[in-house]
């Protein structure tokens, strides 16, 4: 086994355990049928390894749990708020810090002020909630990820980058007045969890300066991105992960963060700004919809845990374990012949279900079939990111499929050990063995919006 294939032994020991329930395949068959073959509708208790998301699912440290006890629940000016504000200012270099209950609340506040009818937003890739908040206020959102991202099998260091040529084209087309902001999602969640380079970020800053535009960083995985920059980008070998994050965040005019990821907490969000006038507008909306300036949507204990989490996440041993764990799973799957988005991103492994289940046509949702098989065989829960999530219908009611049929396996932080990952790898042996016998699925119920959350399916006999 090469150095690259090895994961780092978990740099923590376990002080408290949460039991996982071992179920039989027969039991899971019944549970999945009851859930309409949609793993979102399963009881979490019926899941053995939960890869649905890395958001809010991480384990807090002993230091964070101690912080919970120290949480100051004063309505205004709490000690825990001061702690959090100081940590966030130090990280972002931005003077105005606004706490929210999670990432999308920060998005809603910021984009309802910057957006509106006739406005456009440009991003490497907008995350779903970002796009939804932008479209909700009547604006348009354009994704222009770099060309390297088109080929999911080809290696490139920074496939999360924005396409700088297309950025200039869109700026020329819409003009300064119409552009709400350029949003850099770091790492690029909807594009394979791939990192963004400092060079690309600096070029975006330059373009924004040239045209008088605002640059927003959606940086909920900023620490993970820093790991890749240190590893792959010249000139950053000797900087700490935190210094890299500080340098990158300093490039932005605003920072939105779902703290449920690299904040290492189960709930929380942040919005930070450089501009005072904009911060006043945002704070007005915060008070109306989230809470007072010094807690937003958070309890004092949540803010205390977040202040600590935002420091722990930059621990070099933690970050190495984190990124190598994801790579360990992804690289070993690839070695088995499972097609995965390459290279492996920071928080998740994305399996190409269309390629793996090449006998299942897109109209029968190969991604959904894989998601169901992983649950049936191993109690593993993942999410389809393909035509169930993004498919549309034409006027005749025929499916317009998504560009790709992927299945995302997102790893919660500090939750599973290498032996859990080895178990998942074992289950994939079963999947590979039965892949040609697999049948697709048909939708039996779907809501009008965001159908993947609540749709029901049945296996095609």
Which positions touch ligand F0G (CB under 6 A)? 53, 55, 102-104, 127, 129-130, 185, 189, 218, 220, 258, 260, 269
Nearest approach, Cβ of 186 to ligand F0G (angstroms)? 8
Nearest approach, Cβ of 234 to ligand F0G (angstroms)? 26
Residue with Cβ nearer ligand F0G (53 or 139): 53
Nearest approach, Cβ of 281 to ligand F0G (angstroms)? 21
Nearest approach, Cβ of 257 to ligand F0G (angstroms)? 8
Residue with Cβ nearer ligand F0G (184 or 362): 184
Kindly tell me the burial class for residue 355, based on how many C-beta atoms sit within 10 Å of its own C-beta (0-12, 13-18, 19 or more).
middle
Q: Is the peptide bond before 187 cis (omega within 30 degrees of 0)?
A: yes
Q: How far apart are CA 261 and CA 168, in angstroms?
A: 31
Nearest approach, Cβ of 295 to ligand F0G (angstroms)? 17
Residue with Cβ nearer ligand F0G (112 or 438): 112
Nearest approach, Cβ of 261 to ligand F0G (angstroms)? 7
Taking the alpha carbons at both ends of the chain, their separation in whole angstroms is 42
Nearest approach, Cβ of 459 to ligand F0G (angstroms)? 26
Nearest approach, Cβ of 76 to ligand F0G (angstroms)? 24
Nearest approach, Cβ of 107 to ligand F0G (angstroms)? 7
Cα 320 to Cα 7, 344, 379, 410, 427: the distances in Å are 9, 14, 28, 17, 26
Nearest approach, Cβ of 279 to ligand F0G (angstroms)? 20
Kindly tell me the burial class for residue 172, based on how many C-beta atoms sit within 10 Å of its own C-beta (0-12, 13-18, 19 or more).
exposed
**Nearest-CA neighbor of 327 among 356, 348, 310?**
348
Nearest approach, Cβ of 111 to ligand F0G (angstroms)? 11
Residue with Cβ nearer ligand F0G (204 or 360): 204
Q: Dihedral sign, CA of 237, 241, 245, 246?
A: negative
Geometric angle at alpha carbon 303, from 298 and 304, rounded to 5°: 145
Kindly tell me the burial class for residue 153, based on how many C-beta atoms sit within 10 Å of its own C-beta (0-12, 13-18, 19 or more).
exposed
**Nearest-CA neighbor of 435 among 333, 352, 359, 365?**
359
Residue with Cβ nearer ligand F0G (271 or 360): 271
Residue with Cβ nearer ligand F0G (327 or 409): 409
For residue 254, the SS3 value is strand
* C-alpha torsion 200→206→211→212, nearest 10: 110
Residue with Cβ nearer ligand F0G (82 or 289): 289
Q: Which residue is nearest to ligand F0G (CB)?
A: 103
For residue 2, the SS3 value is coil
Q: In what order do the strands lie in the sheet with 120-123?
A: 96-100, 269-273, 254-258, 215-218, 179-185, 120-123, 140-143
Write phi, then psi, for 407 (nearest 5 degrees).
-125, 125
For residue 367, the SS3 value is helix
Residue with Cβ nearer ligand F0G (408 or 435): 408
Residue with tokens 């911060």: 279
Residue with Cβ nearer ligand F0G (149 or 360): 149
Residue with Cβ nearer ligand F0G (130 or 438): 130
Residue with Cβ nearer ligand F0G (229 or 360): 229
Question: What are the beta bridge partners of residue 110?
Answer: none
Q: How far apart are CA 20 and CA 435, in angstroms?
A: 27
């Amino acid at each position: 086994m090469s150095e690259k294939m090895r994961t780092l032994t978990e740099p923590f020991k376990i002080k408290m355990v949460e039991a996982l329930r071992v179920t039989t395949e027969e039991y899971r068959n019944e549970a999945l049928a009851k859930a309409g073959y949609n793993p979102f509708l399963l009881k979490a208790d019926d899941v053995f390894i939960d890869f649905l998301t890395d958001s809010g699912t991480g384990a807090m440290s002993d230091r964070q749990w101690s912080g919970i006890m120290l949480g100051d629940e004063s309505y205004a000016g709490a000690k825990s708020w001061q702690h959090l504000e100081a940590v966030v200012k130090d990280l972002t270099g931005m003077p105005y810090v606004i706490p929210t209950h999670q990432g999308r609340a920060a998005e809603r506040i910021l984009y309802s002020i910057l957006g509106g009818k006739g406005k456009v937003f440009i991003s490497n890739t907008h995350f779903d909630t970002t796009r939804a908040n932008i479209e909700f206020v009547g604006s348009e959102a354009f994704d222009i990820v770099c060309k390297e991202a088109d080929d999911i099998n080809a290696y490139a260091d920074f496939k999360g980058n924005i396409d700088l040529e297309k950025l200039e084209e869109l700026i020329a087309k819409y003009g300064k007045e119409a552009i709400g902001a350029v949003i850099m999602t770091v790492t690029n969640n909807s594009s394979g969890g791939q990192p963004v380079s400092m060079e690309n970020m600096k070029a975006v800053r330059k373009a924004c300066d040239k045209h008088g535009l605002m640059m927003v960083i959606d940086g909920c995985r900023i620490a993970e991105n820093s790991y890749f920059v240190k590893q792959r980008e010249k000139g950053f070998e000797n900087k700490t992960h935190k210094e890299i994050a500080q340098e990158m965040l300093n490039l932005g005019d605003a920072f939105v963060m779902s703290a449920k990821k690299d904040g290492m907490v189960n709930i929380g969000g942040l919005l930070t700004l450089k501009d005072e006038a904009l911060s006043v507008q945002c704070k007005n909306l915060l008070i109306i919809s989230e809470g007072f300036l010094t807690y937003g949507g958070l309890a004092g204990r949540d803010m205390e845990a977040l202040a600590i989490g935002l420091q722990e996440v930059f621990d070099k041993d933690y970050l190495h374990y984190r990124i190598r764990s994801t790579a360990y799973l992804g690289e070993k799957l690839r070695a088995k012949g499972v097609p995965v988005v390459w290279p492996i991103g920071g928080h998740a492994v994305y399996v190409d279900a269309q390629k793996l289940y090449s006998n299942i046509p897109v109209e029968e949702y190969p991604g959904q079939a894989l998601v169901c098989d992983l649950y049936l065989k191993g109690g593993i829960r993942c999410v389809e990111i393909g035509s169930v999530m993004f498919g549309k219908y034409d006027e005749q009611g025929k499916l317009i499929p998504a560009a790709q049929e992927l299945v995302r396996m997102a790893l919660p932080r500090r939750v599973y050990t290498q032996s859990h990952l080895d178990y998942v790898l074992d289950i994939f042996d079963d999947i590979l063995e039965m892949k040609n016998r697999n049948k697709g699925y048909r939708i039996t119920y779907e809501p009008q919006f965001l159908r993947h959350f609540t749709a029901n399916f049945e296996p095609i006999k």
